[in-house]
Amino acid sequence: MIKIEFNNKTNREFALVVQNLTRRKRAEERIERHTVEGRSGQIIDRLGTFESYEREVTFANFEKDKVRDINKWLSGNGILRTSVDPDGFFYADVIDVMERNPLGCCRNSMKVTFLVEPFFYLERGRHPIKTDKSISIYNLGTIYSEPVIKVHGSGNGKLSINNKIINLSNIENYVTIDSKLKITHKDNLPKGKDMEGEYPIFEEGRNYISFSGGITKLEIVPYWREL
């Protein structure tokens, strides 16, 4: 039987049985099309970003007294896991819950629509990589990743990823660089003004990381992912 987990709770906790689940698909790449006078066809600019897509789940509900708890569970955003997509997870928002259609005595059905971010994140990519020296790491996904890097040290330092330099100033014990959210912070206080350079990504294949100055060590959560 298919199992759905959303924000650390599963359908089985609510006596819900999964009747149908639409499958994971490759997200649509964002592109720009250009027509050139006198030239056949079109020129395509690939923007390097992708569209979210919808996944629908149909549940059979066996216990009416759990309806309030079910509605609370199936709301908002968070991490979505399914038993048909092992070893990873999706970031998703609940965007629609279609209320119940009777299935006979004591049962109802309900359809839930998740808006899923384009990538499937590998569980292995959530494990921190700690280092106090230059290293190389291999991207286990099939597309570039947007890591979270906790930089330890004091004062000013340089972080190099694939020869792209990030200058950090006024480091006090540590600072966190979140490439997915495009923020730099310490204890949720903004530190963006103390960072100079682009937010780092890990390309497909091997990536080379080094640091100097007041930086003493790194904690890297790579967030490997697939399309």
Beta strands in 69-221 (DSSP E): 77-82, 88-102, 108-116, 120-122, 129-131, 135-139, 148-161, 164-178, 183-186, 189-190, 195-196, 205-221
Q: How high is the pLDDT of residue 191?
A: 96
**What parts of the chain have a pLDDT lower than 50?**
none
> According to the model, what pLDDT value does residue 112 have?
95
Nearest CA to 64 out of 23, 14, 113, 19 is that of 14
pLDDT at residue number 86:
96
pLDDT digit string, tens, across residues 207-218: 999 999 999 999
Tell me which amino acid residue 181 is: L
CA distance 211 to 206: 17
DSSP class per residue in 150-182: EEEEEEEEEEEETTEEEEEEEEEEEEEEETTTT
**Ramachandran angles phi, psi of 72, nearest 5°:** -70, -40
| Nearest CA among 137, 116, 124, 56 for reference residue 88 | 124
- C-alpha 20/C-alpha 113 separation (Å) is 12
What pLDDT is stored for residue 48 in this prediction?
85
Give the integer Cα–Cα distance in Å for 75 and 97.
Answer: 9
CA distance between the termini of the chain: 25
* Alpha-carbon distances, residue 98 vs 14, 57, 76 (angstroms): 17, 10, 15
Q: In Å, what is the CA distance from 56 to each residue of 70, 96, 107, 169, 194?
A: 16, 9, 19, 46, 43
User: Domains of the chain by range and CATH?
Assistant: 4-118 (2.40.30.200), 123-226 (2.60.120.860)
Check residue 106 and give its pLDDT.
Answer: 58
Q: What is the pLDDT of residue 102?
A: 66
DSSP state letter for 26: P
